[in-house]
Amino acid sequence: MSEHDSGLKPSKPAFWNDPKVRALFFQVLLIIGLGYFLMVIVDNTLANMRARGITTGFAFLDEPAGFGILQTLIPYTEADTYGRTFIVGLLNTLLVSGLGILFATIVGFIMGVARLSRNWLIAKLAALYIETFRNVPLLLQIFFWYFAVLGALPGVRQSLDLGFGIQFNNRGLYLPEPIPESGFNIVLWLVLIGFVVSRFVKRWARKRQDETGQPFPVFLTTIGLTFGLPLIVFLLMGAPLHWSYPELKGFNFKGGMTIIPELLSLLLALTIYTGTFIAETVRAGINSVSHGQTEAALALGLTRTQTMRLVIIPQALRVIIPPLTSQYLNLTKNSSLATAVGYPDLVAVFMGTTLNQTGQAVEITAMTMAVYLTISLTISFFMNWYNKRVALIER
Amino acid sequence: MTTQSYAVGEHPDLPPPASEVGVLGWLRKNLFSNWYYSLLTLLGLYILYLYVPPLIKWAFIDAVWGGEDRSACDAEGAGACWTFINIRFTQFMYGFYPDELHWRPNAAGLLLIALTIPLFVKSFKWKWQLGAFILLVYPFIAFVLIHGGYFGFELVETNKWGGLMLTLILSSVGIVASLPIGIVLALGRRSSMPIVKSVCVVYIEFWRGVPLITVLFMSSVMLPLFFPEGTDFDKLARAMIGIIMFQSAYMAEVVRGGLQAIPKGQYEAASSLGLTYWKSMGLIILPQALKLVIPGIVNTFIALFKDTTLVLIIGLFDLLAIIQQANSDPEWLGFDTEGYVFAGLIFWIFCFSMSRYSIALEQKLHTGHKR
C-alpha cells in the first residue's frame, strides 16, 4: 500500500455514521435497556415478596421437609431437610434419564437399522413403529402406559408371574435382587483391571499392526479379559452371589427390587418416543455413507466385518453423534414430565412439593433451571469436543 | 423334440426364471433372500398375527358406537366403547366453551382456512400481502371472535376455553409470535457487536437448555411476582408468555440455520450496492433465508403442537387434559384406552400430515442453496 501512498486519506464519515460509534451507541443502549428492565423486575419481585411475607435467600434448604417421597436412591425420611429433597429429586431424574438413554439408544439403533433392512416386512414394521410413535405427544404416551396399561394390571394377590421370580402387578414390577457375598468385590475389580489391560493390549496391537501388518484379535481379547476371566474366577470362588426373590407377605411383596409403575411408565414412554428419533438419526447416518465406500473397502481386501467396523461405522457415527447427543438432551429434559404421573423427579419433588410448601418460587426455579442448564451445557460441551475430534479435515 | 438352430447372436432372450419375477420373485427377493431374513420375516408375521387381529376386533368389530350411556359398553365381550368419545365429542373439541357460541371459534377457523388457501395457489399475486395480513391482522379478528367482549360479542373467559381448540390456539400463537422474536435473536446472534451477540446467545442457550415444563411452572408461579402488585394475568396469557419465550429460542436457531445457508456473496453484494444493514437483511437476505427455513418452521410447529399438552400440568384444559378429565369421570371409569387412542389419533393426523408437508416442501424448495 505504501508505494501508492499519495498522502490522501479516505474521507471519514460523520461520527454518527461511523459504524464503530454506532455499534457502541446501540450496545450501550441495549445495556441500559436491559439493566432497567432487570431492575424493574427485581424491584417488583422484592416488593411483591415483602407484601406476601416471603423471605428471600436459601435458608429454607436447612429446614425439615416433612413430606415423604415415593422412591429414594439415598436414605431419606420426612425429618430430612428441603436441601435433601433437592438431592433426592436430582438423583431420581438422573436415574430415569440414564436408563432412558440406555434403552432408547438400543431401541433406536435396532429400529434405525431395521428400517434400512433389505427385508421388506421388517423395514415396513420399523417404519410403522417410527411414524406412529413420533407423532404422538410424549405426555399422552406416559399417561397411556401409566393409566391404561399399568393401571389395568391385576392387584398384588393376582400378580402376573413372568418367570425367574419376576412378579408384575399394578403396584409395579418386582424383580429378584442380586445380593453379593464376601469376595464378590474381587470379581468387580477384575472386570475393571481386565478392561484397563485390554486398552493397553489395543494400543500394543495397533503399534504392531503399523509395524508388521499383522492384525491381532483385539475385540475378542477385550471380551475375554473384561468378562471371561472374571467369570471364571467367579465360578472358581463358588459363585459368591445369591438372589433375593420377591415373596408375597401380607398385602405386598417383600424382598427383591421394586420398579414403581411411575418409573416404569415414564421409562417406557421415554424409550419408545426417543427411540423413534434416534432411529431416524441412525438411518440418516448410515445413508450418508456412500456405497462407493463399501466397494472401495472390499476392493482393498477388507472383510465384510472389517469394512463395517473400520470404514462404514466411523463415518456414519460422525453424522449420527451430534443429533444423537441432542436427543439425549431432549430425553433428559423430557424426563421432567415425570411430574404428570407423580414420579418423584427433580421437578415433581423440588419444583412441585417443596415449592408449594415453602413458597420460595424464585430460588427454587433458579436452582432447578440451573441443574438442567448444567446438564445441557455439559452435554453440548462434550459434543463440541467430539465434533472437533472427528471432524473431517478438508482441503 | 425338435431342435432349432440360430445364427450366432440371434438367439431370442429366454424368459427370466420363474423364481426371479412376479410375486414369487418379489417374495424371494424381499422376504426370504436367506435363512435369517426368512426367520425375521416369520417373526414379523408372528408379531402382526399376535397384535393386528385382536386390535381390529377391539377397535371395529366388537366396538360399541352408539347409545347414550355406558350400558352397551358394559356388555360381555364388548370391544372399544366409542360411545364415550361420541358423547363427549363437543367437549373434546371446545372445552367448556358455551354450546350456543361454538360458531365463533368455527368462524375464526374457517376464516383462517379461507385466507390460507390462496397462498397455495401458484398464480395468486398478493401472497406477501395476504401472508402479512394473516400474521398481523388475523390474530386480532380471531381474538375478537373467540374471546368476545367487543362489537357486541358476548365475553367468553379464557378459563372456559379448552379441547382441541385450545391446543390449536396455543400452538399457533406460539409459532406466530415467536417468529419475529426468533428472527431478531438470530440476526443478533450473527451480529458483529459483541454485547448484542452475547445477550442473544445467552437468551437462546438459556431457554433451549431448560425443559418446557419448568418454563411453564416459572411463568405460572414467578411471572405474577415480576409485575407491580395488582397486575392480573389470566392463566392462559401466562402460559402463552412462557411458550413464546421458550419457542422463540428454538425459532432463532431455525432461522440462524437459514441465514448460514445463504452464501457470503449475497451479503457482500448487498453491502456493495450500498444498502444499509436493515435494508440488506429485509430485501436480500431474509427473503431467501426464510424461504429456506419454512420446513424447519413446520418441524418446530410439530414439536410445539405436541408440547402444548404440557399445559395440563399448570391447569389448562387442552385436548389431552380434557380427555384426562373425562377419563376420571366416575360415570365413565375404565375407558382410558379409548380416550387416549382418540387423542393420539388426532395428534397423529395433525403431526403426520404436517411432517409429510414439510418433507414435500423441503424437496420443492431445494433450489441449489445447499452445497
pLDDT at B370: 46
Domain extent listing, chain B:
22-61, 82-97+156-365
Cα A291 to the center of its chain, rounded Å: 32
Q: How far apart are the first and last CA of chain B?
A: 64
- Reported confidence tier of residue A395, pLDDT bands at 50, 70, 90: very low
Whether the Cβ atoms of residue A129 and residue A107 lie closer than 8 Å to each other: no
For A170-274, strand residue ranges (E) read: 172-175, 177-180, 241-244, 247-249, 252-254, 257-259
Q: Which residue of B has its CA nearest to A34?
A: B199
Per residue in B132-143, pLDDT (tens digit) is 888 888 888 888
Cα–Cα dist A376/A332, whole Å: 9
Using the predicted structure, report yes or no on whether residue A261 has a pLDDT greater than 90: no
Average pLDDT score, chain A = 84
Q: Which chain A residues are closer than 8 Å to B30 by Cβ?
A: 118-121
Chain A contact set for B337 (CB, 8 A): 144, 148
Residue A178: beta bridge partners?
A243
Q: Note whether B313 and A339 are within 8 A (CB).
A: yes
pLDDT exceeds cutoff 80 at A5: no
End-to-end, the C-alpha distance of chain A in Å comes to 30
Which pLDDT does position B246 carry in this prediction? 92
pLDDT < 70 regions, chain B: 1-2, 366-371
Q: With contacts defined as CB-CB under 8 Å, which chain B residues touch A31?
A: 195
Nearest residue of A to residue B307 by CA position? A137
In percent, how much of chain A has pLDDT > 70? 96
For B347, which of A120, A136, A355 is closest by C-beta distance?
A: A136
- At residue A108's C-alpha, the angle toward residues A107 and A114, to 5°, is 90
Instruction: State the CB neighbour count (10 A cutoff) for residue B105.
Output: 24
- Partner residue opposite B44 with nearest CB, options A121, A140, A339: A121
B253, B245 Cβ separation under 8 angstroms: no
Which of A34, A51, A376 is the closest to B229 by Cβ?
A51
For the domain bounded by A82-155+260-390, which CATH number is listed?
Answer: 1.10.3720.10
Helices B127-136 + B103-116 axis angle, to 10: 150
Q: Domain B82-97+156-365 classified CATH 1.10.3720.10? A: yes
DSSP A5-38: --S--PPPPPTTT-HHHHHHHHHHHHHHHHHHHH
Supply A125's cell numbers: 414394521
Tell if the CB–CB gap between B206 and A119 is shorter than 8 Å.
no
Q: Which of A125, A137, A351 lies closest to B44 in CB terms?
A: A125
Q: Which residues of chain A are within 8 Å of residue B352 when distances are taken between CB atoms?
A: 131, 135
- Contact between A273 and A287 under an 8 Å Cβ cutoff? The reply is no
More confident residue, B103 or A141: A141
What is the C-alpha to C-alpha distance for residues B263 and B285, in angstroms, rounded to an integer? 10
Stronger pLDDT, A105 or A221, i.e. the higher one: A105
Residues A192, A112: Cα–Cα separation, whole Å: 32
Of A253 and B323, the structure prediction assigns the larger pLDDT to: B323
pLDDT score at A394: 53
Report d(CA A142, CA A39) in Å as an integer: 41
Contact B279, B209 (CB under 8 A): no
Task: Note the ipTM here.
Answer: 0.86
Inter-chain touch B210–A340, beta carbons under 8 Å: no
User: Which of the 8 DSSP states describes residue A74?
Assistant: S
Q: How many CB atoms lie within 10 A of CB B367?
A: 9
Q: How far is A152 from chain B (nearest CA, A)?
A: 9
Which of B45, B205, B211 lies at the smallest CB-CB distance from A333? B211
Q: Which residues of B touch A359 (CB under 8 A)?
A: none
Identify which of A27, A136, A340 has the shortest CB distance to residue B344.
A136
pLDDT at A273 over 90: yes
Looking at residues A252-267, what average pLDDT do you find? 83
Would the CB atoms of B214 and A351 count as touching at under 8 Å? yes
CA distance B273 to B280: 9
Helix (H) or strand (E) holding B167: helix B163-189
Smallest CA–CA distance from B312 into chain A, residue: A340
CB contact under 8 A, A347 and B344: no
Please judge whether B40 and A369 are an interchain contact, meaning their C-beta atoms are less than 8 angstroms apart: no
| Interface check B1 vs A, CB under 8 A | no
Residue of A nearest to B191 (CA): A23
Q: To the nearest whole angstrom, how far is the Cα of B353 from the nearest Cα of chain A? A: 10
Task: Determine, for residues A23 and B31 on separate chains, whether the beta-carbon distance falls below 8 Å.
Answer: no
Select the more confidently predicted residue: A390 or A178: A178
- Which residues, 6 or more positions from B191, have their beta carbon under 8 angstroms from its beta carbon? B197, B200
Residue A137 has pLDDT above 90, yes or no: yes
The C-alpha cell at B362 is: 423441503
Q: Provide CB contacts within 8 A for A348, sequence distance 6+.
A: A89, A338, A339, A342
Q: Chain A partners of B228 at a C-beta cutoff of 8 Å?
A: 44, 47
Q: Inter-chain contact B336–A151, Cβ cutoff 8 Å?
A: yes
Residues A224-251 have pLDDT tens digits of 888 888 888 888 877 777 777 777 777 7
- Buried b / exposed e over B270-301, threshold 16 CB at 10 Å, is beeeebeeeebbeebbbebbbebbbbbbbbbb
CA B96 vs CA A330, B102, B149: distances in Å: 33, 10, 17
CB neighbourhood size of B185 (10 A): 24
In this prediction, residue B367 carries a pLDDT of 60
Is this prediction's pTM over 0.90? no
| A244 φ, ψ (degrees, to nearest 5) | -100, 115
Predicted confidence (pLDDT) per residue in A281-291, tens digit: 999 988 888 88
Mean pLDDT of A193-222: 86
